[in-house]
Chain A
């Protein structure tokens, strides 16, 4: 009450009254702060997710392609039994996992250097280097990789100069792996950096004091304490790869379709929206499981 009275006494007028009201009724302040964002999420995001889930249990008339609101599990049955779809789902999840592991391995030493070795100035420069690519268009960066990985691209030209056999990486799963790992790397570096930076220097000194060399300290102290940050980063790399369909389209080969590509073709070409919806439920489900696991590892405290 005193604070409210003070606020009224000092500010007076309408602003003061509103402030005092918000102070007396905390739920009003919460509503004011969260309302706009929540409305956006509920209307646009959750509602469309629910619609997606409902549609997945419908079917289309094969002749007219009109949606028939008949509840059934046919779409999901097809996903499980049809080898093609199973392969596509496994490829998508497998590549997302491979990209996540690659980024974690690449990001850790980089983030470690940024957080614990580099001077302030070098740190700033490295930050810029990590974040600057995010300013360039995603498409531009994927196209840049096409120029590198193509049959007559920079990579093969360089190999030729070194008198090495050409590597035909263009339009393969390897190409997707390389491009995804490159594109999502900043999303792994930043949370890993944040986690590493928060480890007090005294922990590392304590480990050394107790007889641990650098390698042992890294394994026993730094890695476990940075793990929540790495898992937080993996949420980004994993989910972004899982949901992508542009990179497979541009750098993937004939047999490189992702879940997203099949969803796209079912919506745009086959007009089978219920099946597309069923397929789209798969990454949502995978991500839900992933997030549950990540929460247990403390990733949300790290973000």
Chain B
């Protein structure tokens, strides 16, 4: 098996000098008539925080389950640490999963839950104790080992699920929307926490989410999925600043798309300025006239929906550097919008190469 994998490797061009923790090659999975994962290929480097981002039904969870081994692909192959694991059952894979519903065993204490994987793998009692203690420390739950999962809050359960997976020192940690059930504040705390843990341990994280903010703030690289295919793969900056198609432009950030001169352009709302009445724009600035339809005050920023005279509708976001009291005045007024031409991205190019990475 190992030799065959080694033979197959040279065919694929290497783009990263770090060894690949995971390689997915042409993997497809069909459920009845639905093609959940459609010929997906990707390579994830060791120690990378990699996110699969997409709306529900995009195939991101199925892809994660294929990597964990809960599902078998209809075609393609999956390599973990250079070994072909396509036919290896989940209990023999060097991956561990943090489940969306945590899946803590309700009849075991927190410590017993964390210990379970070590026990199954027949580690000595002393090692198990030590690693459980380390795990509890890592997720900041020291002293709660004797509790039952039912006695914990949602955020604490989430941490137990994380510790239970991590103490096994997996080559790749799979996280299936782990923060989905938490409220916003807790979610933001846990995002920082997860990032810290990932940095400390240097484990490869594959993170599934539908939340673009989460994906952008935490990941080294993100694959945007839709309809079982990768729409774009790149760093958060790539995806936000240089979306290659309308789906990515709309899914990450706000769908601010207009047609001008036979081209389809994306302009991020914070890159557009509302010109003051007497202001003269700098040279080379792109200008548009329009009417403010809606003003939405959101504390830190105010959003303006502007109907353009030349057709199309754009959302503009302005920082409220000063008190926004009275900003409502703009509703129904004529305004001028301005942006630098290099801030508008042309996405009218054919999408043939969308699953290329």
Contact = CB atoms under 8 A, between A and B. Distances in A.
A213 B107 contact: no
Interface string A195-211: 00000101101111111
B104 to A, nearest CB: 8
A209 B116 contact: no
A220 B120 CA distance: 10
B96 A210 contact: yes
A78 B168 CA distance: 63
A49 B139 CA distance: 57
Contacts of A207: 105, 116
Interface of B: 68-70, 89-92, 95-97, 99-101, 103-107, 116-117, 120-121, 164-165, 168
Contacts of A282: none
B97 A211 contact: no
Given A200-B103, A216-B120, A221-B105, A206 B168 contact: no
B69 to A, nearest CB: 8
A220 B105 CA distance: 10
A149 B101 CA distance: 52
A209 B91 contact: yes
3 smallest beta-carbon distances between A and B, as pairs: A210-B117, A202-B103, A206-B103
A209 B105 contact: no
A212 B91 contact: yes
A153 interface: no
B103 A211 contact: no
A224 B68 contact: no
Given A200-B101, A216-B120, A209 B95 contact: yes
A98 interface: no
A208 B121 CA distance: 12
Contacts of B96: 209-210
A226 to B, nearest CB: 11
A209 B99 CA distance: 10
B105 to A, nearest CB: 6
B97 A209 contact: yes
A25 B100 CA distance: 43
B127 to A, nearest CB: 15
Contacts of B91: 208-213
B282 to A, nearest CB: 57
Contacts of A208: 69-70, 89-91
A202 B99 contact: yes
A225 interface: yes
Contacts of A210: 91, 96, 116-117, 120, 164-165, 168
Interface in A59-106: none
Contacts of A216: 120
A213 to B, nearest CB: 6
A205 B70 contact: yes
A209 B69 CA distance: 8
Given A220-B116, A225-B106, A225-B107, A209 B90 contact: yes
Category for how many chain A residues contact B = 10 to 19
A contacts with B: majority SS:
helix
B105 A203 contact: yes
30 contacts: A200-B103, A202-B99, A202-B101, A203-B103, A205-B70, A205-B90, A205-B99, A206-B103, A206-B104, A206-B105, A206-B164, A207-B105, A208-B69, A208-B89, A208-B90, A208-B91, A209-B68, A209-B91, A210-B96, A210-B117, A210-B164, A210-B165, A211-B91, A211-B92, A211-B117, A211-B121, A212-B116, A213-B91, A221-B105, A224-B107
A202 B99 CA distance: 7
A14 B99 CA distance: 53
Contacts of A212: 91, 116, 120
Given A206-B103, A209-B96, 13 more contacts: A205-B68, A206-B99, A207-B116, A208-B69, A208-B89, A208-B90, A208-B91, A209-B91, A210-B91, A210-B117, A211-B168, A213-B91, A221-B105
Interface string A116-127: 000000000000
Contacts of B105: 203, 206-207, 220-221
B302 to A, nearest CB: 38
Contacts of B116: 207, 210, 212, 220
B89 to A, nearest CB: 7
A195 to B, nearest CB: 12
A198 to B, nearest CB: 11
A221 B165 CA distance: 17
A209 B102 CA distance: 12
Nearest to B68: A209
Greatest chain A CB density within 10 A among B100, B105, B165 is at: B105
Contacts of A224: 107
Nearest to B168: A210
Nearest to B120: A211
Contacts of B100: 202
Interface string A215-250: 010001100110000000000000000000000000
A80 B164 CA distance: 55
A139 to B, nearest CB: 42
A205 B103 CA distance: 9
A233 B136 CA distance: 39
B128 to A, nearest CB: 13
Interface string A272-284: 0000000000000
Nearest to A199: B106
A216 B117 CA distance: 11
